Structure 1
């Protein structure tokens, strides 16, 4: 269920964005202690003409300022309720570092928003996560008991 959407200004080279997907996905999985196959990360590119930095269109700001000093990447995550504050702080710090390093910016410019989702308000294949996860955890426990 864990998902992350990284919003950046359009114009980064595709290989850089693909590397960001790889590294952000790995950091995300480590930080929240989740199997990588359970999470999704995607990038949304925003047109610099339709993005304001300090009240000015970003395409104009980028003409006089390096991208790494101007851009403010935004990471929005949806996570099931129940993770510790320490874990949330770790994922915010780790993903900020990865985004800044891969894109060549300052981690202090990265913004992170975590939306907590109650398991009854998220569906997996049309089944509330509260039910789907309970069945999955029971199956995993049974499998470990027989192993």
Structure 2
């Protein structure tokens, strides 16, 4: 169920962005014990003329400031409620490190937001997750305790 939207200024090499998807997906799967086939991770590239940095279009800022010092990648995720604080902290740290390394941006400028979805308010194929995945989640909890 985890979904992550990786927002970044347009202009990064396509292969780096594809690797960002791969590594983000792998980290989420490992930290959250979420099957890879249930993850959705996508990149949204923003036109630098349509992204403001300090109230100025990024295209103008980047003409004077190195991308590393100006860009602020933003990661927005939705996770089902019930993750531990330790898991959330690990996700934040790992995704920050992956993003800084792959995109060659200042780690201090990366922002990550995690929203929680209540299983009654997250639909899968027209059915609330609380109904559709109840048995699957119970089985997963049992397997994690073993």
What are the Cα deviations for residues 86-145 of structure 1, in whole angstroms up to 9, with x where unaligned? 11111011101101110001211110111100000001111100011113346x57xx8x
1:22 aligns with 22
2:102 aligns with 102
Shift of 1:56: 1.0
1:75 aligns with 75
What are the Cα deviations for residues 54-92 of structure 1, in whole angstroms up to 9, with x where unaligned? 111100111111111110000000000011111111101
Aligned residues of 1:31 and 1:94 also touching (Cα < 8 A) = no
SS at match of 1:90: helix
Shift of 1:36: 1.4
Aligned residues of 1:72 and 1:109 also touching (Cα < 8 A) = yes
Matches within 5 A, 1:1-147: 1-137=1-137, 140=139
- Runs of 4+ off more than 4 Å: none
Shift of 1:29: 1.3
- Matches of 2:11 and 2:18, distance apart in 1: 13
Q: Which runs of 5+ in 1 are unaligned?
A: none
- Matches of 1:61 and 1:29, distance apart in 2: 36
Q: Which runs of 5+ in 2 are unaligned?
A: none
Shift of 1:34: 1.3
SS at match of 1:12: coil
SS at match of 1:116: strand
Q: CA RMSD in A?
A: 1.4
